[in-house]
Structure 1
Amino acid sequence: MWAPGIVHHGTRRRRAAYRRVVWSGAEVLVTVGVVLLLLVAHQLWWTNRQARQDAEHKVQALEREWGTAGTPGAAGAAPGGDDSGSGSASGSGSGAGTGDGGQDGKNGAGASTGTASSRGASSDSARTTPRWSQAYAVLGIPRLSLRVPVAEGVSKADVLNKGYVGHYKGTQQPGQAGNFALAGHRNTHGEPFRYLPRLRRGDTITVETRSAVYTYVVDRTLPQTSPSDGGVIRPVPRSIVRPSYGYSEPGYYITLTTCTPDYTSRYRMAVWGKLTAMRPR
């Protein structure tokens, strides 16, 4: 006869088995959580640390190779005059939306000076086409305290994940007529373009090569577009997705592209500038 308070051995065994299953499941969840935390730490901290160190060493190596002592913003000391191209270069979506970034601009006096002075260096760039993934220039953005190598191509493994900025194959080289277009990570792997939205119209961008230092001035910003919007890197850059952003006349342009918003590759943003000066080494 069954009496209250008596637990059969089968019931105890089932309860013990249940506790073991719950405990094992909890251990698995904790292990998975720790692994995920380590992966996040690796992506957000270690890849940045390693890529930044590699990029800094490459900049120093290029400077030694060129026989110069690089100083942040030094190339920006060669202003080219007034750039009268109209357009908004707000780094945020709201700023670009309220500005006149969609209007077509004319090359001003500064741009003309840079254009004329860059022709000799343009032929030099054409004669020395960089090898794939070769670092051959240094991009400097004083507002962002950034000095980073520029390498040929936009391969993640060979260029971008090293903390470098990549040059879009098929676009022009520094100082050449057309569009010198670059891409860089915004998050992880050195994230050189982490603060690209902070750029404003009038900020300077320098590109140093073995033979010359080119100074561009930020002119406009496209805050958001599709990753497949190839118009932003055409010789005369103009968005295909948002045609009110861009240019309609040939010139000497630079384009900086990166993913947006943070921690996603759903969209792209672009910052455009115009060449204003060239200083031979």
Structure 2
Amino acid sequence: MDDGITDATIDGPKTSGRTRRGPAWQAIGILAELLITMAAICALYIVWQMWWTGVQAERTQVETREQVSWSDPSASGDTTIAEAQSGDAPVQPESARYGDLIAQLYVPRFGEGWQRNIVEGTDAEQLARHGLGHYQSTQMPGEVGNFAIAGHRSGYGEPLGDIDKLQEGDPIIIRTQDYWYVYTYKRYQIVVPTDVWVIAPDPENLGADPSKRLITLTTCEPKYTTATHRWIAWGELKYWAKVSDGIPQELSTTDSSGKVKFASTSSTEMSLPARIGSLQPYVVGALTAWAVFAIAAAVAWRWPLLADIRAGRRRRPDASLYGGIWRLMPGILPIRVLLTALLVLAAVGALFQWAFPWASANIPMLQQMSNYVAVQQ
């Protein structure tokens, strides 16, 4: 009895009935793949610029704090409120070398636990690594005159990303090795980059001898596009206090038992992404794992996908960049998926570690997107 199943059905080719596309359509398909690839790289660049540079800046800041012998206000479980001092404020540091950690900035308006390092110098290297830099031509914390700071508004941890949220009367707190300086936010102004008067000793009375102790924060405007202007925020010293006496009232909180706590996080606390450091070991590890699995798969299974195509069990595919890579992967389907994932991981790591930093530093359009914010002097 004929049961409807023949040898030809069992052993015959399993190709689909769809024919290959013509050369023009295949070329269009390859072009589409290239465009998708470029779009993915652009998206990854934005992730690198907006997030990964901040991760790197966080790691650098924690490492910088670990290298100095400053006390950690959050090290103990509870603390006290430092007595506000109204006399002439001490100046600290009196001088600093390029790249030195001179202070830390705390702005409660930017979020509980928010803090950033301030280093000496405002060039691109210091702002990219640390986020905030002190204009070397301006005064030091506590000094009569203007303690002026530059910082990124997007990328590199966007230390001044929320500067537009400041409200009159908000505290802006500077901590040096031994002193707290509590400034009060007064006002802001948007200027062009050539308006260097904003960091003068007394921006309101140019040329006059300064009589106030001011702080100035400068950053880019607008936030996410080419920085054509600068956002300037000014504050004035309200009081100073000794670090050895405790913490400012503005940085304190009280628990259920009435104990005073430091509202900021530990100065040596580092997020999980920031602990990764360099991506080079991960790129090398992914490529090494790929090589090991690829060799093992080639020995065990060879290239079954290519074998099916050559034997006619699969339709000869159209020309394709990604399809070609997929067909060159040895082994069975789960192994090919694993090998592809390892290649993608290595490629993304290489972009973050080498390609994007180089592009940001050397391609003019990307240099503008990096938002270097120092006022030209």
TM-score, length basis structure 1: 0.69
Shift >3 Å, 4+ stretches: 56-62, 74-80, 247-250
Aligned residue among 175, 186, 190 for 1:208: 175
Which amino acid counterpart does residue 175 of structure 1 have in structure 2? G
Is the 1:219–1:273 Cα contact (8 Å) retained in structure 2?
yes
Which amino acid counterpart does residue 144 of structure 2 have in structure 1? A
Is the 2:138–2:199 Cα contact (8 Å) retained in structure 1?
yes
1:254–1:262 CA distance, 2 compared to 1 (3 A): same
- In structure 1, what is the equivalent of residue 31 of structure 2? 25
1:151 aligns with 2:119: yes
1:166-205: CA deviation from partner (whole Å, max 9, x where unpaired): 1011000000010000011110111011111111111111
TM-score, length basis structure 2: 0.52
- In structure 2, what is the equivalent of residue 178 of structure 1? 145
1:8-65: CA deviation from partner (whole Å, max 9, x where unpaired): xxxxxxx933223212211221221121121111112211222234334444654xx1
1:92-147: CA deviation from partner (whole Å, max 9, x where unpaired): xxxxxxxxxxxxxxxxxxxxx3xx421xx22x532xx1110111211111121321
Which amino acid counterpart does residue 117 of structure 1 have in structure 2? D
1:263 aligns with 2:224: yes
Q: Percent identity?
A: 31
Is the 1:75–1:214 Cα contact (8 Å) retained in structure 2?
no
Is the 2:173–2:181 Cα contact (8 Å) retained in structure 1?
yes
Q: Distance in 2 between matches of 1:76 and 1:227?
A: 40
1:213–1:34 CA distance, 2 compared to 1 (3 A): same
- In structure 1, what is the equivalent of residue 106 of structure 2? 140
Is the 2:102–2:118 Cα contact (8 Å) retained in structure 1?
yes
Aligned residue among 214, 231, 234 for 1:272: 234
**For structure 2, which runs of at least 5 residues remain unmatched after alignment?**
1-20, 244-377
1:75–1:149 CA distance, 2 compared to 1 (3 A): farther
Which amino acid counterpart does residue 72 of structure 2 have in structure 1? T
- In structure 1, what is the equivalent of residue 201 of structure 2? 235
Which amino acid counterpart does residue 193 of structure 2 have in structure 1? P
1:74-101: CA deviation from partner (whole Å, max 9, x where unpaired): 9996557xxxxxxxxxxxxxxxxxxxxx
Q: Distance in 2 between matches of 1:27 and 1:41?
A: 21
- In structure 1, what is the equivalent of residue 289 of structure 2? none
Secondary structure at the counterpart of residue 115 of structure 2: strand
- In structure 2, what is the equivalent of residue 188 of structure 1? 155
Offset at 1:227?
1.5
- In structure 1, what is the equivalent of residue 70 of structure 2? 66
Q: Distance in 2 between matches of 1:148 and 1:230?
A: 24
Secondary structure at the counterpart of residue 202 of structure 2: coil
Secondary structure at the counterpart of residue 189 of structure 1: coil
1:45 aligns with 2:51: yes
Q: Distance in 2 between matches of 1:130 and 1:151?
A: 9
Q: Distance in 2 between matches of 1:210 and 1:35?
A: 43
Offset at 1:278?
1.6
Is the 1:254–1:272 Cα contact (8 Å) retained in structure 2?
yes
1:194–1:248 CA distance, 2 compared to 1 (3 A): farther
1:218 aligns with 2:185: yes
Range with bigger deviation, 15-24 or 160-169 = 15-24
Is the 2:133–2:150 Cα contact (8 Å) retained in structure 1?
yes
Is the 2:93–2:176 Cα contact (8 Å) retained in structure 1?
no
1:161–1:151 CA distance, 2 compared to 1 (3 A): same
Q: Distance in 1 between matches of 2:211 and 2:96?
A: 24
- In structure 1, what is the equivalent of residue 213 of structure 2? 252
Offset at 1:165?
1.0
Q: Distance in 1 between matches of 2:200 and 2:109?
A: 26
**For structure 1, which runs of at least 5 residues remain unmatched after alignment?**
1-14, 81-112, 241-246
Which amino acid counterpart does residue 160 of structure 1 have in structure 2? L
Q: How many residues align?
A: 216
Q: Distance in 2 between matches of 1:207 and 1:53?
A: 21
